[in-house]
Amino acid sequence: MNIINKTLAIFLLALAGTGVSTVANAEPIKNIVLVHGAWADGSGWKGIYDILKRDGYNVSVVANPDTGLADDIAATQRTLDRQNGPVVLVGHSYGGVIISHAGVDPKVKALVYIAAFAPDIGESAAQFLPKGPLPGTPTKDGILFMDRPTYLAAFAPDVPQDVKEFMADSQVPIQLSGVTAKATTAAWKDKPTWYLVSQNDLIIPPDNERMFAKRMKATTEEVAGSHVQFVAHPQEAAKLIEAAAYGAGSK
């Protein structure tokens, strides 16, 4: 063994003795499951989906019906059941309530909240919304569509005009009982969490988002943008999701 190789061997043995792992040993979780919120659908994840797929992840988008919390948890569980291996579970807005329940699945190794509700047991999403009238008129069976002007001005103001008009016209309305239902599970208490705060959110007050992130001790990033900032600029959210995949994968 020449002097250079001998020196390298000694260095690597010393490094191993410190418990420091090399980059080669850091393998990210490869399965990402995305859960949309109220007044949205799976198409809102397209930008993030494209980035994650390009970077080698297996991505599934849940088509939760927003017809009640139990229905939405069940829809997410069906997608989790199809995953082969550990999962990073991601929720936007009301999707945060869903992943806080479905996230107890043992396959879920990390939770990522994108401008999302993260209620504790006994809390509802509704109690963290701004006080005031509903942003639309409920149907006879308790389903709420968001008024189009409100959608364009408050829900997705920083999204290109043609995109937000399509989003408004294709919105998935929510069963109000899903928003008022009190959480019975808080998976974030037992799983590592990441949180993306939208600083200009007009749906969930940003200070409430910061509170959620702080009490779950989440790795937190803040971005300037609306409630659906991740639609207009998906790279920030995708970066945080990938950080979760590496962070939970290296544990």
pLDDT band, residue 27 (cuts 50/70/90): confident
- Average pLDDT (134-139) is 91
* Res. 21: pLDDT tops 70: no
**Overall average pLDDT of the 168-197 stretch:** 96
User: Is residue 11 pLDDT above 50, yes or no?
Assistant: no
- pLDDT at residue 85, as a whole number: 95
What is the model's pLDDT at position 250? 62
Tally of residues, the chain: 251
Average pLDDT over residues 57-70: 97
- The pLDDT of 20-48, averaged and rounded, is 84
pLDDT-derived band at 251, boundaries 50, 70, 90: low
Query: How confident is the model over 65-76, as a mean pLDDT?
Result: 97
Name the pLDDT band for 249 (thresholds 50, 70, 90): confident
CA 169, 171, 175, 181 torsion-angle sign: negative
Place of tokens 């939770």: 111
Q: Evaluate whether 108 touches 102 at the Cβ level (below 8 Å).
A: yes
Q: How many Cβ atoms from other residues are within 10 Å of residue 88's Cβ?
A: 30
Q: Is the pLDDT of residue 19 over 50?
A: no
159 and 52 Cβ atoms separated by less than 8 Å: no
The total of other beta-carbon atoms located within 10 Å of residue 52's CB is 24
SS3 (DSSP) at 176 = helix
What local confidence, expressed as pLDDT, does residue 60 receive? 98
**% pLDDT > 70, the chain:** 89
Q: Do 136 and 145 touch, CB atoms closer than 8 A?
A: yes
The CA angle 95-178-85, to the nearest 5 degrees, is 35
The HSE-up count of residue 243 (CA atoms within 13 Å, CB side) is: 17
- C-alpha radius of gyration, the chain, whole number: 20
b/e code 196-223 from CB counts within 10 Å (16+ = b): bbbeebbbbebebbeebbeebebbbeeb
- 114 vs 216: CA distance, rounded Å: 14
Q: Hey, is 222 helix, strand or coil? A: strand
* 247 vs 251: CA distance, rounded Å: 7
- Per-residue pLDDT, averaged over 68-95, amounts to 97
All structural domains of the chain = 31-131+147-249 (3.40.50.1820)
The pLDDT, as a whole number, for residue 32 is 98
Query: For residue range 221-243, what is the model confidence (pLDDT) as tens digits?
Result: 999 999 999 999 999 999 999 99
pLDDT at 169: 96
